[in-house]
Structure 1
Amino acid sequence: MTSVTAAPLNPDEQRYRDWILREVETTGAVVIDVPPDEEGAGYTFSVGAWRRFGVAEAVVLGLPEGMGNILINLYLDRAKAGERFLPGHIYENFFEGVPITVERVAKGHYMEYFGSAFVLYRKGDFPALQLIVPTPQGHWPWSPDAPPGFQDWQHVLTESGLPESWLPGHNGP
């Protein structure tokens, strides 16, 4: 694992870190929404789940506004209750009739998708999972039947951009 050299925090970063720590102690984790922009889809991620509950931080990309926050909070609730999430497995009962799966996030994506987490985990030493949601018709981003552009909107945060913890259609979705 490559670590990040942590420079001292400036006063604004220290206030932000203090706020995150208070929230983590009070609620268990902070959920941060990043809106879409000209460079890509919006995303939502957690900060503090690893510190407080020993479960991977989570990120979800490309969902309609507000849905990422709901999904991350449901993940946190289930993780706090003891459920563990394994890459390539299907998990039901997040959204009615739509399952999810998870994949490990490659360290090379941490700074872009978990930037705020670095004020808490100064060396980037936390595990992270991507929560992946298919279309309502059941097409995953890597599926040949997925709508055009879906893989760009909800790309997989592995080194290859495809699932790496399982073989799609063989031992995973």
Structure 2
Amino acid sequence: MHSSHIVNTMADSPAPSGGTEPAGDPEDRRRVTADIPPCHCVICDSETAAPHTLTAAENEAFADEDGPGDDDEDAVRALVPGWFGEAAAHVRRTGWTSIGIMPGTRTPGWAFSVGLWHSYRAPEVSLFGLLLPDMQQRVNRAGRLIRDNKPFGLDIEVDGILDAQPVVAKRVHPGWYPTLFGFAVGFYRGAVPPFVQLVWPDSHGLFPWQPGCGLRCRTVQPQLWLPPELHPDGPWQNPH
């Protein structure tokens, strides 16, 4: 994706308790047990972070399909403070941050979370095809549900994220990670956690996989539950 997309971050408000850390003891949240897989993000591997602006081209540079290899791991570590400092600060403060990708010439924008896996070992969430500020706010709503121990399942309708319509969380095929979630690939140093896509219905309540769903609903949202090679032809296979 060599494009003019702009990356924007949006932090959520701190937890209702008024503290500066997300709910739960940090050590408890990050402790690795047989039931809790490890986190390899930049926060877990680095205690320093300085803010820096990330361009889309730089974001893409971290999205190697195989993730960072042993030979370039030191180089990735060296860049951690500059590239991911602002996002790391948001995650430390509120549990996650919302990353927004501005619309391009062929595709609408999209938004996704970074930090839900680090803080709560929950899948990161993504949303496509709506106005960018609205998508970032809805990503934050999903994050608050997870923070407040109200997780949502896959392939069932979920209320409380959009204003008047449910969404359905669909598991994202990992083949999409480098193209659409390059910032997360870098933030998690190649060990990307699961992602889900929050899919919204058309004005008649029909989802893209249901017969009769409106054309706009089916085209502004990619079908990320499919492998990229099986996705219908269109701009999402090479968004710019």
TM-score computed with the length of structure 1 as normaliser: 0.83
* Residue in 2 that maps onto 1:141: 208
> Whole-Å Cα distance in 2 between the matches of residues 46 and 73 of structure 1?
8
Check conservation: 1:59, 1:113, Cα contact below 8 A: no
The answer to which structure has the higher helix fraction is 2
- Greater Cα offset, 44-53 or 81-90: 81-90
SS in structure 2 opposite 1:118? helix
- Greater Cα offset, 142-151 or 20-29: 142-151
Q: 2:164 aligns with which of 71, 76, 97?
A: 97
1:5 aligns with 2:96: no
CA-based RMSD of the aligned residues comes to: 2.1
**Cα distance, 1:124–1:148 mapped onto 2, change above 3 Å:** same
Q: Which amino acid is 2:188 matched to? A: Y
Q: Which amino acid is 1:54 matched to? A: R
Aligned length: 161
**Cα distance, 1:117–1:90 mapped onto 2, change above 3 Å:** same
> Whole-Å Cα distance in 2 between the matches of residues 22 and 68 of structure 1?
21
Deviating 4+ runs (over 3 angstroms): 10-14
> Whole-Å Cα distance in 1 between the matches of residues 98 and 185 of structure 2?
14
Consecutive unaligned residues in structure 1, runs of 5 or more? 163-173
Deviations 1:123-167 (A, max 9, x none): 2331111111112321212222122243221122121449xxxxx
Deviations 1:58-79 (A, max 9, x none): 1111012322112100000000
> Whole-Å Cα distance in 2 between the matches of residues 95 and 41 of structure 1?
18
> Whole-Å Cα distance in 2 between the matches of residues 161 and 143 of structure 1?
16
* Residue in 1 that maps onto 2:186: 119
Identity of aligned residues (%): 22
Counterparts of residues 6-85 of structure 1 (less than 5 Å): 6=69, 7=72, 8-9=75-76, 14-85=81-152
The answer to which structure has the higher strand fraction is 1
**Cα distance, 1:105–1:45 mapped onto 2, change above 3 Å:** same
SS in structure 2 opposite 1:155? coil
Check conservation: 2:87, 2:97, Cα contact below 8 A: yes
Deviations 1:16-41 (A, max 9, x none): 22332222111111111111111312
